[in-house]
Structure 1
């Protein structure tokens, strides 16, 4: 059991500290490949995680023809291709472009948009974010200034249920019973505005951020110096009012928990059968990908899962059975539920351990809290909210209970797989 002692910051940092940004934004994309220990890596932005069957087929062909034969889902609902062969960049770009996955070469790294994956499917939420998603992507790809955004800058389109609003986006548009609300950074203050103006407001707010960032080196809203961050919301409101948008401040605390859709049939909506599917460690082989993409539209979630829409009602049960037989999660009770990990060794040179293999070895009965395994202190892709943090260190693994941006006093388990599995299970079950 983890002791609930005095909490400390999860990752000590100073807002506005641009020292780590002096070399520029090296965030990978579909056209800017990143060299990893297992070969080149491409990150393909999928706004809202939405993929047509044609686009999904193209991604499968890319993984098979150029990469390691797997598709890796990210915590922003994007896709990474790993183990890419040397010199494949031009062919890969041509394949993606032909499938409509590169609507603008200049903007491909800034199309970072997460969206409520069940919006319009289950009767929940206060708005269908689909129209917002299409319009925001059109506006982004048509803006010269947007090309200056970092590949890490994040937009969120939340249908009102609070799922993606909790993910810590730089700018969030939230559906309300009447109209919408714009959140800038992590503040509890939001700005109500007409729903139809939401995408335009997001673009204007991103341009205001670029003005505020100036030469500070800030990539994201949280990186701004205190004085610039304080002035950003005022600048956004001024821009919107000058554009004729009616804006009024309101208070809406950001949700603390970003809850993923439960695996299983999506019920309550008007659009026919849909299925929420969990993906162990966010990694899909070609057989699994082809099964998922063969049914209908796919919505990749920020929790490294997939919502498949358009499933024929008379085939829903057999489809779920086939996915489960292929190793995917289609219902409650899976030991993989809530288990995540970074790529670890051998794919990442900075990782101190094969954390995916260790996570698999430690899988047991589902715990109350999610757990995330990281191969180093960077904790790439870690969740938000409350979770169990397992970090590989030279001395073993450090385990702590995280709540928001604070972590309880950790315990360290030396190099003993059985003891590590037991400590993780205890931490997840007890909550600290």
Structure 2
């Protein structure tokens, strides 16, 4: 049975997708289950996992049964704790120092079998970066494994190992997680005593120089890229991380006809088809727009992140995700409204800021006790800075106008 979190719009099931790899059959199974048991809506999270929304309180058993038939594997307490984010371009990016897909699989298998896994915080997470262009090591995590020319650097809570072999890097990452489990069920890496952390990382030093690369910004990529062997990878942007059943079935169909039957979830609200013939790329992207995905030309200039908002969250008065989708739709329909350069908009219906903690060019912040938004520039939900304006209600045209100002 799957654990369901109770939200204002019903039960929510979090599906861990270690490494982000999803088969066409699995995508169809998620679409079918979301329609039959829930609201038909599925969220793509910034950890490259999936969330099925609007489930009844007792749907966990039926959902697990349906998904198991499509090769989803469930492992009890481990399922809520297999938080492994892998660069979606692993094995595709020619600039990466090392393909970390085997290491991600080994880490997942080790977590499933760990005796302490039930004591690890469900929020404890790992990020694996092969050293390529996307910079996923910048994603906040408890443990980051970053490949360099000398080996793999494991960093956690401001400390880092020396460059290690894959086997030693796996051992170090697991040792950090085991320390957190020993501290307590809600402990993160920052709660581990420094002496224990140094012992886990096998380092008697402070941060290693190579770990500094983790501070580089995340670099989302959209469209066709990385030509190799007569194929390209295609990154298809999803509107504010929200997929419906029809969009999932579209991905399944195109993965089977163009992408060798698989897809990879990306942590910037996109889905990657890894092996598409170059002459088919433009047609696939055009078809994705017709299916409800964001045009690449829009996604490359306007990044929109949003919390679930109303009516999905009890704390929210404003429909943050719906407004975010409307922003992207208006920009696609009227490209003249797009900003000149790349801009990031964050819509958070309350100060908790569930969509992320990074600063945005334009932040709209709601409040649980009243309707409307305060407008901030260059702020993050918990560090918004002074308000530039207040909008008692906000349509997409008004928000894009604020961005232009």
TM-score (norm 2): 0.85
Cα distance, 1:147 vs. partner? Answer: 2.2
- 1:318 equivalenced with 2:283 (yes/no): yes
- The equivalent residue for 1:123 is 94
Cα distance, 1:257 vs. partner? Answer: 1.9
Q: Whole-Å Cα distance in 1 between the matches of residues 294 and 70 of structure 2?
A: 28
Q: Choose the corresponding residue for 2:226, options 267, 276, 301.
A: 267
Q: Whole-Å Cα distance in 2 between the matches of residues 374 and 403 of structure 1?
A: 9
- Three-state SS of the structure 2 residue aligned to 1:284 is strand
- The equivalent residue for 1:14 is none
- CA shift digits 1:191-239 (9 cap, x unpaired): 321134322321122112223x24xx643223x2xxx44334313135x
CA contact (8 A) 2:159 2:207 kept: no
- 1:37 equivalenced with 2:13 (yes/no): no
- 1:257 equivalenced with 2:257 (yes/no): no
- The equivalent residue for 2:307 is 342
- Three-state SS of the structure 2 residue aligned to 1:417 is coil
- Three-state SS of the structure 1 residue aligned to 2:285 is helix
Q: Choose the corresponding residue for 2:379, options 386, 394, 402.
A: 402
Cα distance, 1:329 vs. partner? Answer: 2.7
Higher helix content, 1 or 2:
2
**Structure number with higher relative contact order (C-alpha < 8 Å, ≥ 6 residues apart):** 1
Cα distance, 1:95 vs. partner? Answer: 1.9
- CA shift digits 1:115-151 (9 cap, x unpaired): 1111211313211121111111111111111221111
Cα distance, 1:357 vs. partner? Answer: 3.1
- Three-state SS of the structure 2 residue aligned to 1:56 is helix
Q: Choose the corresponding residue for 1:210, options 146, 164, 181.
A: 181
Q: Choose the corresponding residue for 2:144, options 168, 172, 180.
A: 172
CA contact (8 A) 1:50 1:299 kept: yes
- Give the stretch that moved more between structures: 265-274 or 116-125: 265-274
TM-score (norm 1): 0.80
- 1:237 equivalenced with 2:197 (yes/no): no
- The equivalent residue for 2:334 is none
- The equivalent residue for 2:125 is 154
- 1:359 equivalenced with 2:359 (yes/no): no
- Three-state SS of the structure 2 residue aligned to 1:392 is strand
Cα distance, 1:169 vs. partner? Answer: 0.5
- CA shift digits 1:96-119 (9 cap, x unpaired): 223332241231000111111112
Gaps of 5+ in 2: 256-260, 332-336
Q: Whole-Å Cα distance in 2 between the matches of residues 271 and 72 of structure 1?
A: 32
Judged with a 3 Å threshold, the aligned counterparts in structure 2 of structure 1 residues 208 and 135 are, in CA distance, closer, same or farther, namely same
CA contact (8 A) 1:183 1:191 kept: no
Cα distance, 1:266 vs. partner? Answer: 2.0
Q: Whole-Å Cα distance in 1 between the matches of residues 327 and 232 of structure 2?
A: 34
- The equivalent residue for 2:270 is 305
Judged with a 3 Å threshold, the aligned counterparts in structure 2 of structure 1 residues 361 and 307 are, in CA distance, closer, same or farther, namely closer
Q: Whole-Å Cα distance in 1 between the matches of residues 201 and 11 of structure 2?
A: 42
Q: Choose the corresponding residue for 1:56, options 27, 30, 50.
A: 27
Q: Choose the corresponding residue for 2:353, options 354, 371, 379.
A: 379
How many residue pairs end up in the alignment?
384
CA contact (8 A) 2:143 2:173 kept: yes
- Three-state SS of the structure 2 residue aligned to 1:267 is strand
RMSD over aligned Cα atoms = 2.8
Judged with a 3 Å threshold, the aligned counterparts in structure 2 of structure 1 residues 331 and 376 are, in CA distance, closer, same or farther, namely same
Cα distance, 1:289 vs. partner? Answer: 1.0
- CA shift digits 1:143-163 (9 cap, x unpaired): 111221111111000111362
Cα distance, 1:170 vs. partner? Answer: 0.2
Q: Whole-Å Cα distance in 2 between the matches of residues 93 and 141 of structure 1?
A: 17
Judged with a 3 Å threshold, the aligned counterparts in structure 2 of structure 1 residues 335 and 267 are, in CA distance, closer, same or farther, namely closer
CA contact (8 A) 1:345 1:351 kept: yes
- 1:392 equivalenced with 2:366 (yes/no): yes
- The equivalent residue for 2:47 is 76
Give the 4+ runs in structure 1 shifted more than 6 A.
none
Gaps of 5+ in 1: 1-29, 242-246
- The equivalent residue for 1:285 is 244
- Three-state SS of the structure 2 residue aligned to 1:58 is helix
